[in-house]
Copies of this chain bind each other. A is one copy, B any other.
Amino acid sequence: MGNTFGHLFRITTFGESHGGGVGVVIDGCPPLLDITAEEIQFELDRRKPGQSKITTPRRESDICEIISGVFEGKTTGTPIAILVRNKDARSQDYDEMAVKYRPSHADATYDLKYGIRSWQGGGRSSARETIGRVAAGAIAKKILKNIAGVEIIGYVKQIQDIIASVDANIVTLEQVESNIVRCPDQETATKMIERIDQIRRNQDSIGGIVECVARNVPVGLGSPVFDKLEADLAKAVMSLPASKGFEIGSGFSGVVLTGSQHNDEFYYDEAKNLHTYTNYSGGIQGGISNGENIILRTAFKPTATIGKEQRTVTKTGEATTLAAKGRHDPCVLPRAVPMVESMVALVLCDHLLRHHGQCSVLKP
């Protein structure tokens, strides 16, 4: 039951790296939304492998097919199923991994939990699974945009120790997409690309931080106490492959401030809308959006699969070593950007519907 996410806007993903394909079923989508396969494909293309020299060279066009739920260009309110077939699967690259566990990968734990795993290309633990999330995220983004003009923009904030300077309040998609590492700070982007390329040649890998902003979020989203907006956002991005940390607003850096420094003082603008002078809260207070920009960061570890030789064990009990073959990303960050955006969109869209369902039905 761990493959379903969301309550009113609810997605279920399926599929493995090798085999028939990967996809998603979206249940609870509002009817009468205009949507095309092209709009979904736009986001899938941002996620797909083989985009550039710093991503995996696996060649997948990742063309999506809308199986159901859309009629004459509009959503019908019934389940939207989207399927992407696997094409460029090279099982032979994985023969060794059938018996040897990649360090820090999911190989061992899947075997320990289930007693079996589809070992080709990581099977279910492959990042190909996120195709379903990104396809669903494309729809969630459109709903949010249509209803409230919400903009969700992610970007690479940090690669290893290289930190970009980005103003989350004004960054644009065009800036993010203007280079292959998806860092809108162009000068820093160049350094990041060089670093990733160097690491790739070393048969090693690196990690970094994706920052994501959601602007124009309606006030009132989030369902305290357990489904606080930041809690659901944390779960959302921490369910992405390779994520190791999450923070909202001031995050870990907020612990060194005092309350009088950290508190976001209130004021009303001329239209009598409530605002805060600062935004250490990251757009969420008490688990509920306050209308300010939602800003969050996710830490991604270095890719587990590397070409360098490492100590490991076989499934059957022997010590051995492994230098992984196959086609892998030296750094997941550039492709993680649309994944983070999608997860943020899924959370906001679900909470938008939940809030509407509970809090606007009674007219006082």
Within the complex, which residue of B30, B160, B258, B359 is in contact with A362, where a contact is CB–CB below 8 Å?
B30
A290-346 interface (Cβ within 8 A of B): 290-291, 299-306, 308, 310-313, 317, 319
Within the complex, which residue of B3, B223, B227 is in contact with A225, where a contact is CB–CB below 8 Å?
B3
Contact A263 B4 (CB under 8 A): no
- On chain B, the residues within 8 Å of A223 by CB distance are 1-3
Contact A226 B259 (CB under 8 A): no
Shortest Cβ distance from residue A247 to the other chain B in the assembled complex, whole angstroms: 3
A259-292 interface (Cβ within 8 A of B): 259-268, 272, 274, 276-277, 280-282, 284-291
Q: Is A204 an interface residue (CB 8 A)?
A: yes
Complex formed: what's the CA distance from A356 to B234 in Å? Answer: 26
- On chain B, the residues within 8 Å of A267 by CB distance are 311, 313, 319
- On chain B, the residues within 8 Å of A248 by CB distance are 238, 244-245
Given contacts A259-B302, A313-B274, contact A2 B224 (CB under 8 A): yes
Complex formed: what's the CA distance from A219 to B25 in Å? Answer: 26
Binds B, one of A15-23, A41-49, A186-194: A15-23
- On chain B, the residues within 8 Å of A27 by CB distance are 1-4, 12
Q: Is A56 an interface residue (CB 8 A)?
A: no
- On chain B, the residues within 8 Å of A284 by CB distance are 109
Contact B268 A160 (CB under 8 A): no
Complex formed: what's the CA distance from A258 to B260 in Å? Answer: 39
- On chain B, the residues within 8 Å of A288 by CB distance are 106, 109-110, 112-113
Contact A266 B3 (CB under 8 A): no
Copies of this protein, total: 4
Given contacts A260-B204, A286-B106, A306-B260, contact A358 B8 (CB under 8 A): yes
A58-100 interface (Cβ within 8 A of B): 65-69, 71, 74-81, 83
A127-151 interface (Cβ within 8 A of B): 129, 143, 146-147
Q: Is A251 an interface residue (CB 8 A)?
A: yes
Contact A244 B247 (CB under 8 A): yes
Binds B, one of A115-123, A164-172, A173-181: A115-123
Within the complex, which residue of B1, B114, B233 is in contact with A7, where a contact is CB–CB below 8 Å?
B1
Shortest Cβ distance from residue A355 to the other chain B in the assembled complex, whole angstroms: 7
| CB-nearest residue of chain B to A351 | B2
- On chain B, the residues within 8 Å of A308 by CB distance are 259-260
Contact A245 B244 (CB under 8 A): no
Contact A31 B299 (CB under 8 A): no
Complex formed: what's the CA distance from A207 to B259 in Å? Answer: 8
- On chain B, the residues within 8 Å of A244 by CB distance are 230, 247-252, 254-255, 282
8 tightest A-B CB contacts, nearest first: A106-B286, A357-B357, A2-B223, A2-B227, A205-B259, A245-B247, A20-B67, A235-B235
